[in-house]
Amino acid sequence: MSVIRKSYTVEFKTKVVREILREEKTLSQIASEYGTHTNVISRWRDQALAALPGAFSDQLANAQAAKEAAWEKEREELYAEIGKLSTQLAWLKKKCGYLTRAEMSVWRWLIGRMGNSL
């Protein structure tokens, strides 16, 4: 027989941890009130207390700002690449109308090579 693990929402965990931190009831009382095991709520309390120092530091905000800056830089580079490729495609479409069959086969070969190298 398999054991089905319960999953709890963040809001529920927060509510339970707040009640633990009030210290008005014992862990056993809180666990029975919310239908959980004392080990589970003890783990939640430990996780909350471990994360607490990070809530008061700017480290998280700085990390998020760095991620957003890196994402924005990558986005700019991708848009530049799209523009470059669009220009090349337009030029190739324009030139293909003026090429002979032999020249067109050479261009097709070159375009195929460019596609494989990307």
Q: What pLDDT sits at residue 40?
A: 93
Q: Is 26 helix (H, G, I), strand (E, B) or coil?
A: coil
pTM of the full structure: 0.48
As a dihedral over the C-alpha atoms of residue 33, residue 36, residue 41, residue 47, rounded to 10 degrees, the angle is: -130
Write down the residue that tokens 């003890």 correspond to.
42
CA distance 2 to 98: 71
Q: Where are the alpha helices (DSSP H) in the chain?
A: 10-22, 27-34, 38-55, 59-96, 101-117
CA distance 31 to 39: 9
CA distance 79 to 93: 21
pLDDT in tens, the chain (118 residues): 677 888 899 999 999 999 999 999 999 999 999 999 999 999 999 999 988 877 777 777 788 889 999 999 999 999 999 989 988 887 887 777 666 677 778 778 877 777 655 4
